[in-house]
Structure 1
Amino acid sequence: MNSKRCRHIALTAVLAVGLAACGGGTGAQSGGTDGKSIANVVPGALGDQSFYDDAESGVTTLKSSGYKTSTLQADASNPAQWKANLQSVSTGQFGLVVMGSSTAADTMTETAPKFPDQKYVFYDGEIKAPNVASLTYKQNEGSFLAGVLAALVTTENKDFPLASGSKTIGLVGGMDIPVIHDFAEGFKAGAKAVSPDVKVLTSFVGSFSDSAKGYDQAKAMFDQKADVVYQVAGGAGVGVLQAAKDAGKYAIGVDSNQNEVQAGHVLASMLKHVGASIVQVAKENEKGALPVGKTTSFGLANDGVGLTYDDNGGIVPQAVIAKVDEYKQKVVSGEIKVPTVLG
């Protein structure tokens, strides 16, 4: 392992441990049920430059608009701690309690019925409970665009000096679970829509926090001539981005704008607009219209998912962005139906 990689992974580990130790969270610890107070229970630590950070951005936005907020972090491998944190903010001191993602579904399913007067928002999954508003995201549709972009890079590589034209791309997932397979299904479909000849490599880290293993799996793909690797591995995906830089190739980020994480190597980031969706439902709650007991889905048609090219240094030409957008419009119009593994 080279020294640069060691320093990067060590810094990531220290950051995660330090934030997890904060446990009690950030923001005000008092709230109320006036509709303008919210607690965010994170089944892990902030600082993943990904999914949890995006959710927290929504809480930060609400705080700036006058909300009383609290964020509770935890050890990513300690579900008992997630549950204890969730219960601690479910006794009426907050108008809303937010939690996600799919790994925490059991925690919310067990806890919500015990606090029937508490209103919850569960993002990136569906909880069947009368006091939970569930938010889901069509990651297959957003990943379809990521697959289109990756395929264009490896098949029309004249505009991408780090691509060899190998017609090989990859995806490194976090856990081997249905939602991650849904990312992969959409990514493969997007790539094949551009060219059936594109080879798509896939692997799973087995963790959303092991950046060293994420690095190793991405490196293996670059060693197999992949021009682009899409990371859908949460904090573990930071290692994928590092591997792209070290290999002199490209990556696609996920869940938050990661385009500057390894400047010149991250083409775009596929966003589930989690933070924005949390703000949206919080505003609905203020009006007494929180969709509890229901699931609200966000996809390409309502801009709930999509690619961002912001802060990528202009490495994707406008002509290529326009081609990707043509595929987006075909999905929105129904001309293309993106496959899903979630039914």
Structure 2
Amino acid sequence: MIRNAHSFRVTKEIYMTHQGNRSHIALAAAVLAAAALLSSCAPKQKNADEASIAVFVPGVVSGSPVYEMLVSGVEKAVEKAAAGGRKVSLQIIEAGTKQSEWGTRLTSLAAEKKYSLIISSNPSLPEIIAPVSEQFPDQRFLILDAWYEGNPKMATVRYNQREQAYLSGYMAALASSSSMQYANPQKKIGLIAGQEYPAMNGIILPAFLEGAKAVDPGFDVDFRVVGNWYDAARGAELARAMKDSGVDVIMPISGGANQGVISAARELGFYVAWFDDNGYAKAPGYVVSSSVMEQERLAEEQTSAWLEGKLVFGTASTVGMKEGYISFVLDDPLYEEHVPAELRDKQRALVSRLESGELVLGSE
């Protein structure tokens, strides 16, 4: 789905010569061939004060907090630049939820040579973009929530998701081991992922369990995978199976399938640990945890850095609680209403330890 009337279609122009003097035809053919070669190798030129940005959304924007924040942050940077007299065009492109199609769509987008910068956000994208960047060496990419070093056409910034998942696991275990209405005696919490990927398997899942074990070493995590980022019915099905197995708190990181987990929580009575933005209002009384990454702020800052000529390509960096890009929502009225003060005090103490540097969790 393309927003702002953008099209992925690439138009190929075919030039033909009329019959005539063969030497003239040969000369014309040579000139045309040389022009075509130069055209294919060189990016379309813009005035120095003009810029063109495409936000490539590997999914859909509506209902996806990560992508809503991404788009909003880029839009703020563009509006700020425009207010300062800079001419910047912006297109928002929704690529859909089928990951197998993202590479083809990115290739088509780069082939248009319309955009000075393509911005996106997803841990899996750098590996998809790497061959595209070789095919179109003048195209530049900025990818958030991702890590890739050494590609001079790409800049990446990832969040310290070990901190984020640790916070979530700690709060999930606090709720599970409490006397709250839907808690049970089993030391078992759950994580539902849209798909398996390196950051999920190597960072988020282990850190979620690590946070839970900091409350009680006896905790385990039931981990299940939807297989895509949109199937709410499948998300609900997995949540029901988890509930039947004794899980009383589930953290969904599964895109549109998260809605199925929320529906099952309301239906069956279990708690939800929300990831990436403030989720308490999504199911008051059921969502007991919201660990947040400041995607909108990072998107605005990184886009502005590029517009100002300060973004360094070929780099990869990590931001977390110390820098203010990972946090836990402690002051939401719904959190204060539904989570007992004793649990909130323990969670606040953990947040303070991480923010102060007393407790250090690396990004790996």
**Which residue identity is paired with 1:221?**
M
Q: 1:229: Cα distance to partner?
A: 0.7
Task: Indicate the residue corresponding to 1:326 in structure 2.
Answer: 349
**Residue 169 of structure 1 corresponds to which residue in structure 2?**
189
Aligned partners of 1:219 and 1:118: how far apart in 2? 45
Q: Which of 295, 306, 309 is residue 288 of structure 1 equivalent to?
A: 309
Q: Distance in 2 between matches of 1:322 and 1:35?
A: 51
Q: Which of the two has higher C-alpha Rg?
A: 2
Is the contact made by 2:77 and 2:304 (CA closer than 8 Å) also made in structure 1?
no
Distance 2:48 2:131 in 1: 22
Counterpart AA for 1:164: N
Query: Could you report, residue by residue, the CA deviation over 1:168-219 in whole angstroms, capped at 9, with x for unpaired residues?
Result: 2211122122211221111111111111122322222222222222111111
Among residues 69, 73, 77, which one is paired with 1:62 in the alignment? 77
Distance of aligned partners of 1:88 and 1:145 in 2 relative to their CA distance in 1, 3 Å threshold: same
**CA–CA distance in structure 2, aligned partners of residues 339 and 62 of structure 1:** 30
Residue 186 of structure 1 aligns with an amino acid whose one-letter code is: A
2:53 corresponding residue in structure 1: 38
Aligned to 1:147: 169
Distance between the aligned counterparts of 1:131 and 1:32, measured in 2? 21
Give CA deviations for 1:273-309 in whole Å, capped at 9, x if unaligned. Answer: 2222111111212321102110121112212222235
- Indicate the RMSD between aligned Cα atoms, in angstroms: 2.8
Instruction: Single out whichever of 316-325 and 39-48 deviates more from structure 2.
Output: 316-325
Matched, 1:226 2:247: yes
How many pairs does the alignment contain? 316
> Which deviates the most, 272-281 or 81-90?
81-90
Does the 8 A contact of 2:169 with 2:207 survive in 1? yes
Shift of 1:332: 4.5
Mean Cα deviation higher: 297-306 or 331-340: 331-340
Give the deviation of 1:144 after TM superposition.
Answer: 0.3
Q: Structure 1 residues 205 and 41 mapped into 2: Cα distance closer, same or farther (>3 Å)?
A: same
- On the 8 A contact 1:32/1:92 being kept in 2, the answer is no
Matches within 5 A, 1:35-184: 37-65=52-80, 66=82, 68-77=89-98, 79-80=100-101, 82-85=103-106, 87-88=108-109, 93-127=114-148, 128-157=150-179, 160-181=180-201, 182-184=203-205
Distance in 1 separating the partners of 2:51 and 2:343 = 43
TM-score (normalizing by structure 1)? 0.81
Report the Cα offset of residue 98 of structure 1: 0.6
SS of 1:47's equivalent? Answer: coil
Q: Decide whether aligned partners of structure 1 residues 206 and 28 sit closer, same or farther in structure 2, where only a CA change above 3 A counts.
A: closer
Please state whether the residue corresponding to 1:209 is helix, strand or coil. Answer: coil
Identity of aligned residues (%): 25
Q: Which moved more, 1:146-155 or 1:33-42?
A: 33-42
Cα distance in 2 for residues equivalent to 1:80 and 1:256: 27
AA aligned opposite 1:39: A
| Equivalent residue in structure 2 for 1:210, among 223, 231, 256 | 231
Residue 14 of structure 2 aligns with which residue? Answer: none
**Distance (Å, rounded) in 1 between the aligned partners of 2:328 and 2:96:** 30
Residue pair 1:54, 1:255 contacting (<8 A) in 2 also = no
Once the two structures are TM-superposed, the CA of residue 101 in structure 1 deviates from its matched residue by: 1.0
Deviations 1:102-132 (CA, angstroms, capped at 9, x unpaired): 2333331121233333331012222331121
What is the CA deviation profile of residues 297-334 of structure 1, one whole-angstrom value per residue up to 9, with x for unaligned ones?
A: 11122122222354646323455333213223334455
Which residues of structure 1 form unaligned runs of 5+?
A: 1-22
Do residues 24 (structure 1) and 2 (structure 2) align? yes
Residue from 285, 292, 314 that aligns with 1:271: 292
Aligned to 2:285, the other structure's residue is in SS state coil
Distance 1:297 1:90, change over 3 A: farther
The 1:119/1:319 distance shift into structure 2, 3 A limit, reads farther
Alignment of 1:233-312 (within 5 A): 233-309=254-330, 310=332, 312=334
With over 3 angstroms needed to count, the CA separation of the structure-2 counterparts of 1:282 and 1:32, relative to structure 1, is farther
Which consecutive segments of 4 or more residues in structure 1 shift more than 6 A?
A: none
Identify if the C-alpha distance between structure 1 residues 169 and 27 changes in structure 2 by more than 3 Å, giving closer, same or farther.
Answer: same
- Specify the SS of the correspondent of 2:281: coil
Q: Which amino acid aligns with 2:346?
A: K
Q: Describe the superposition over 1:226-285 as per-residue Cα deviations: whole angstroms up to 9, x where unpaired.
A: 221111222222211221111122101222333222232112322232222111111212
Offset from partner CA, 1:58-111 (integer Å, 9 cap, x none): 233335433532111123225445533454256554343112312333331121
Indicate conservation of the 8 Å contact 1:133/1:293, yes or no. yes
Native 8 Å contact 2:110 2:136 kept in 1: no
Query: Is residue 142–residue 305 contact of structure 1 (8 Å, CA) maintained in 2?
Result: yes
